[in-house]
Amino acid sequence: MRNTVSFIILCLLAVAFSLAGCSHKGRGANSSGYTDAVEIKLKCRELADQMLATMPNDAIQGLVAMPTSFVDQNNTSRTSPLGRLMSEAMFYEFNQRGFPTREYRLTGNISVSGGRDDIALVHDAIVGTQQKWGALLVGTYYVEKDATFVNVRLVRATDGLVLRTGQLVLVNTPIVLRMAKSDPPASRPSATATNSTKDAGARSQRSRNCLYAPIFSSADTLGYGTIPIRQGK
């Protein structure tokens, strides 16, 4: 009898350890969520390969890429965590392939004094388009029921000429669906807001639109301050 009880206890302990191991494994590198995340990284690599497969090339020689946040194809004034992540990934992928990239969101100084004063990057930044060396990397994504379609272009900033293109399809895994949810619209200032506040908000919105690659606007001419992008008829 005693041997039987001991055997049962040992079996229960073995099952408990097995379940604990499976639970830990499900949260580790072999989990489906981690695998889905790595797949996004591999897709970004595939996108860069498509765009730079023929490098070096005279058409892009001497250019510097400035990746911008990918935008919702149905509303190009809105982006999402997925759009920003793919933009950040393009900085890495282009740099790894020897294509120069430029960080245009630097504040110009870093003042480390505690709190958040040591932040060097800003969200609202203006992407200049007058420099002949500049090439905007712009992209869109379209979320369907089962898949998300991504299209990207490397565009000469001075005239909008498309130099390189790429496209891919992402499976709508849980992580893709979560990240593809668009950012909430910016809140509008109250009627009692001062003129300076309104002007600051307008500048912020213009900058945000620039970050979201205004090349996709249907307007003939885009003029945000000193950033005109003229499109063909």
> What pLDDT digit, counting tens, does each position of 3-30 carry?
665 656 655 656 555 555 554 445 666 7
Predicted pLDDT of residue 19:
54
Name the domain count of the chain. 1
What is the model's pLDDT at position 39?
96
Q: State the DSSP H helix or E strand holding residue 36, giving kind and residue range, or none if neither.
A: helix 32-52
* Alpha-carbon radius of gyration of the chain: 24
Report yes or no: 168 and 85 within 8 Å, Cβ to Cβ.
no
Percentage, residues of the chain above pLDDT 70: 57
Residue at 83 is within a domain: yes
Comparing 226 with 50, the larger pLDDT belongs to 50
**Which residue, 81, 51, 32, 38, is CA-closest to 168?**
51
Mean per-residue pLDDT for 169-198?
A: 74
Give the pLDDT confidence score for residue 28 in this predicted structure. Answer: 65
Give the domain CATH number at 146: 3.40.50.10610
Q: Are strands 134-143 and 147-156 parallel, antiparallel or unpaired?
A: antiparallel
pLDDT tens-place string over residues 51-102: 998 767 788 888 999 999 999 999 998 999 999 999 999 999 999 999 999 9
Residue 91 lies in a domain: yes
Residue 200 confidence (pLDDT) above 60: no
Tell me, yes or no, whether 5 lies in a domain. Answer: no
164 occurs within a structural domain: yes
Per the domain annotation, does 136 fall within a domain? yes
Model-level pTM? 0.66
Residue 216 located in a structural domain: yes
How deeply is 15 buried, as exposed, middle or buried, from its count of CB atoms within 10 A (0-12, 13-18, 19+)?
Answer: exposed
| Residue 72 domain boundaries | 31-106+119-185+194-230
- Is residue 34 within 8 Å of residue 40, measured between CB atoms? no
Whether residue 76 lies inside any domain: the answer is: yes
Determine, yes or no, domain membership for 19. Answer: no
Q: What is the pLDDT, as a whole number, of residue 132?
A: 80
pLDDT score of 58: 81
Q: What integer is the mean pLDDT of 160-166?
A: 93
pLDDT at 141: 97
